[in-house]
Amino acid sequence: MTKTKTIKINLDKNSYDIYIGENLTSEIPSIISPFMKRNKIFIICDESLGSIILPEIKNSFIDAGFEIFVSFVQTGENSKSFESLEFTISELLDNGIERNDTIIALGGGVIGDLAGFISSIIYRGINFIQVPTTLLAQVDSSVGGKTAINVKQGKNLVGSFYQPKTVITDVSFLSSLSEREIKCGLSEIVKYGIIGDRDFFNWLKENIDNLAKLDQDCLIYAIEKSCSMKANIVQKDEKESGDRALLNFGHTFGHALEKHFTKNGVLMHGEAVAIGMVYATKFSGNIGALKKDECDEIINLISDIGLPISINDIKGEITKEEILNLMMYDKKRANQRNTLILLNKIGEAFINNNVSDKEIIDFFNMENIQ
């Protein structure tokens, strides 16, 4: 395996390795063999990958003597639903899945979240492996064991913590992604620099164009750095009772916007997070926690990537009351107070779990959100 990096997530019995490299397809069967109890694999696959990534992966399994069943899931956030959950579980059961079998998630964060949840509940939990195919999933959703579906009240409100046996991240898969998807992944990568590592933030400022052009060495470095930072946080707080919430920087505002705009594809997860990060940055500036030049540095980097930095940058409308209403379903909200992840400086985030609704509305007024 040329250039392959390995990151270990240390979680006692749930520890696992993340493999990061290029052209790993032929290696996948040997990486996952140690976890297999019989030679049948169930791949839960984004339907859009049926002709571009799946065939090669299927062939490598067949060459290695594995039997394969593929369950296709419709592309898009709407598949993180009870309907898809039920349909996919029925399909797996109808096709003979057993307790000792293995599920592979092949796709972006939507597939990883759905397949992970299915793996955690079918037969009360079976082997699960992540093969993420979007940049966003490679740097974020495939690592850390959060699984979820959405319900009408909000995003990710039903799910489980369920760690994969391993994660195999192949940057060669990213060449078929749209520019928009790449930017969404860069949004989550920038988040790691902002919340925890000033040097990495500076490196990103220097290398953002190389990343956007999919320079493989830069990608492997940025994915390794992002996954290592996530690993460090998850190892200390697997079930999010403390510092893991720092990873939600930009997500309190972001999830509310994503929920409102997701139906017609106006806003993707990484774009919603980008706007959310800008709002959390400005909020930090307004309360005097973050210096203005650092606020500008963050907003400039997000804007240089070509991500939206305000709801005025997107098509569609939402009022401040609608955003606040959607924020009520944030998992971190408690005792009618909102939790925001804010910044003292670039590389140092903190959790404020005592933000009133009035403070949020005042902030939106300053942002000229009607």
- Interacting residue ranges for ligand NAD, rule: CB under 6 A: 46, 48-49, 53, 75-77, 80, 107-111, 113, 133-134, 136-137, 140-141, 144, 146, 155-156, 173, 176-177, 181, 184, 269-270
* 8 Å CB contact between 347 and 201: yes
Query: Is the Cβ of residue 266 or residue 287 nearer to ligand NAD in the bound state?
Result: 266
Shortest distance, position 157 Cβ to ligand NAD, whole Å: 11
Query: Is the Cβ of residue 259 or residue 320 nearer to ligand NAD in the bound state?
Result: 259
Query: Is the Cβ of residue 40 or residue 165 nearer to ligand NAD in the bound state?
Result: 165
Shortest distance, position 335 Cβ to ligand NAD, whole Å: 25
Shortest distance, position 65 Cβ to ligand NAD, whole Å: 26
* 8 Å CB contact between 349 and 290: no
Query: Is the Cβ of residue 192 or residue 364 nearer to ligand NAD in the bound state?
Result: 192
Shortest distance, position 212 Cβ to ligand NAD, whole Å: 16
* 8 Å CB contact between 331 and 157: yes
Shortest distance, position 134 Cβ to ligand NAD, whole Å: 3
Shortest distance, position 184 Cβ to ligand NAD, whole Å: 5
Shortest distance, position 188 Cβ to ligand NAD, whole Å: 7
Tally helices (H) and strands (E) across the chain.
13, 11
CA gap 208, 149 in Å, rounded: 32
Structure token pair of residue 367: 């942002």
HSE, side-chain direction, 13 A CA sphere, residue 261: 25
Query: Is the Cβ of residue 262 or residue 338 nearer to ligand NAD in the bound state?
Result: 262
Taking CB positions, which residue lies at the least distance from ligand NAD? Answer: 109
198-205, Cβ contacts within 8 angstroms, sequence gap of 24 or more: 198/345, 198/346, 198/347, 199/347, 200/225, 200/229, 201/301, 201/346, 201/347, 204/301, 205/297, 205/301
* 8 Å CB contact between 141 and 132: yes
Q: How wide is the angle at C-alpha 274 spanned by C-alphas 161 and 363, nearest 5°?
A: 105
Query: Is the Cβ of residue 108 or residue 347 nearer to ligand NAD in the bound state?
Result: 108
Closest C-alpha to 24, from 132, 135, 109: 132
Query: Is the Cβ of residue 46 or residue 224 nearer to ligand NAD in the bound state?
Result: 46
Structure token pair of residue 111: 């597939």
Shortest distance, position 249 Cβ to ligand NAD, whole Å: 12
Buried b / exposed e over 230-268, threshold 16 CB at 10 Å, is bbebbbeebebeeebbbbbbbbbbbbbbbbbbbeeeebb
* Partner residues linked to 161 by β-bridges: 146
Query: Is the Cβ of residue 135 or residue 295 nearer to ligand NAD in the bound state?
Result: 135
Query: Is the Cβ of residue 177 or residue 369 nearer to ligand NAD in the bound state?
Result: 177
Shortest distance, position 362 Cβ to ligand NAD, whole Å: 28
* 8 Å CB contact between 328 and 322: no
